[in-house]
Amino acid sequence: MDAIVNAANNSLLGGGGVDGAIHFAAGSDLLTECEALNGCKTGDAKITKGYNLKARHVIHTVGPIWKMGIQDERKLLISCYKRCIDVAIENNIKTIAFPAISTGIYRFPVAIAAKIAMRETVKALQGHSTIEKVHFVCFDDKVYNEYMSLYDSL
């Protein structure tokens, strides 16, 4: 992949889950670059180098914490995918891998999150996108099955 998406927290300084694993694998230079970015707002995205990762870049996005859908969580998650794709296009990224943003410790319902991920990615790729390949990386069978059921209906 040219870029992997990091489901980050607002500080961009590492955390648990995907975020912690990416920071650990990339090495300390990633943390140094992230410190200079001064964080990231929920729904936005920022790019860094990949350092020790096989991916050349990491696109960090901050997904919303699920609060029963009453605090614009859907709109914020939509924004995450749109911003990641915008950042990828701006940086001539051809291949990108997404985790299931916000579905881990942020408790976003997998069924809703998967629909948003697939819909927003397909919409973006139907435009004049330079992105050639998108991977959705699923951390368990529940997430994988949800994405596959949506993929089969495309």
Q: Which positions are annotated as active-site residues?
A: 19
Q: Which of 54, 71, 53 is nearest to 63 (CA)?
A: 71
DSSP 127: S
At 107 the three-state DSSP class reads: coil
> Which long-range CB contacts under 8 A does 63-70 form with residues at least 24 apart?
63/7, 63/101, 63/102, 63/106, 63/108, 64/102, 64/106, 64/108, 65/102, 65/106, 65/107, 65/108, 66/102, 66/106, 66/107, 66/108, 66/109, 69/112
Q: Residue type for 21, please?
A: A
